[in-house]
Amino acid sequence: MSRLCLPIWASSLQYLSRISQNMISVVLAGVWRNVLVETLAALGASVRWSACNIYSTQNEVAAALAECGFPIYAWKGENEDDFWWCIDKCINAEGWQPNMILDDGGDATHWLLKKYPAMFNMVKGIVEESVTGVHRLYQLSKSGKLTVPAMNVNDSVTKTKFDNLYSCRESILDALKRTTDVMFGGKQVLICGYGEVGKGCSQALKGLGAIVSVTEIDPICALQACMDGFRVVKLEEVVRSIDVLITCTGNKNVVTRSHLDRLKNGCIVCNMGHSNTEIDVASLRTPELTWEKVRSQVEHIIWPDGKRIIMLAEGRLVNLSCSSVPSFVVSITATTQALALIELFNAPTGRYKQDVYLLPKKMDEYVASLHLPNFDAHLTELTDDQAKYLGLNKAGPFKPNYYRY
């Protein structure tokens, strides 16, 4: 990632350095964001890092950070045992106690709570950026097991709209082109889920001339898909005719062995939701099916009758595993994460209880304002009379918390 593309390194760092008053010991589990690591360290944090996905690590970045003295426990192509070993080594270090967790998927939080409960209870706060991790946090809160405050960054506006929508709109194409070299004009594509990620994927593939259909459980999202010009179908209705199948739900068993058995020869299957449970890949590891490695992160799964499907990244998050994430969007999300960490760390006693919170609207707006100069954008300012009429502070926030952007 080039610092030229990351406003977090310039104006954001100046602001963060004013509000970050103390040393923070942060354990991070996420995709590689080297400038975020360097920024947190520049603010005085002691940072240790592991990956949130066995395929998402960029080894050259990991090596560069390690050479700079950061404790890095991750490499591309870990197995499951490696993955949990890395998280454990990241958390459990002699003479080191994390007081903040920056997580992506909830695995670091889960491991710390399960293996080191006393250490978990000393943490001042958790910042989580994925739908899967947020879901797990709400489950902990509901069951009374969440003993520290947590910030849900995934549902902040700057994460939802820019990382989930605009970034996925680009990275899905990057991942599919790098791995398959397929031309998408005229292809039948099914997107499972029409949240922000599904919207971005659908727009991108429609733009290349693909014929896109959508599955949805939510009538509001389904109606949005209809109004955007997409057919809303059940997977069972189109499973035999689709050329590309992409999951974007954050759920489990969205695509089962029964579905996979009925896919046509040559169908491309991949996942854009965070969790690797959306596609039942485990059901394909049976004696009658043959796995054939084509290239990195691309495998043919061959049925006894000769049919084969193309599975990308073993059903894990394809844009993190098979492509790059635009650095400008990473800047937006990383700035949001840094602000959330500092907010929880510096918050006076009693402001946040043992629950899950959204990032304050004012901080969302500030993150957006930091990135506007890259477009030479100039905001219109309210007059005193206009601000009074709308009942707003001239400096914001400009929308109520319930506003849907």
Nearest 5°: the CA angle 156, 349, 27 is 55
For 123-260, strand residue ranges (E) read: 125-128, 150-152, 188-192, 211-215, 231-232, 244-247
* Annotated binding residue 128: no
Rounded to whole angstroms, the Cα distance separating 37 from 32 reads: 9
* Annotated binding residue 216: yes
Determine the 3-state secondary structure of 309 from DSSP.
strand
Q: Which amino acid is at 299?
A: E
Query: Of 162, 159, 231, whose CA–CA distance to 194 is shortest?
Result: 231
* Annotated binding residue 44: no
Question: Longest C-alpha distance within the chain, in Å?
Answer: 74
Distances (CA, A) of 181 to 38, 178, 188, 202: 35, 6, 16, 19
Rounded to whole angstroms, the Cα distance separating 123 from 387 reads: 41
Burial zone of 117 (CB within 10 Å; 0-12 exposed, 13-18 middle, 19+ buried): exposed
Burial zone of 108 (CB within 10 Å; 0-12 exposed, 13-18 middle, 19+ buried): buried
* Annotated binding residue 199: yes
* Annotated binding residue 95: no
* Annotated binding residue 30: no
Question: Do β-strands 290-295 and 46-50 pair in parallel, antiparallel, or remain unpaired?
Answer: unpaired
Strand order in the sheet with 290-295: 231-232, 211-215, 188-192, 244-247, 268-271, 308-312, 298-302, 290-295
CA dihedral 282, 237, 186, 177 (to 10 degrees): -20
* Annotated binding residue 207: no
* Annotated binding residue 200: yes
Binding site, annotated residues for NAD(+): 195-200, 216, 319
Binding site, annotated residues: 195-200, 216, 319
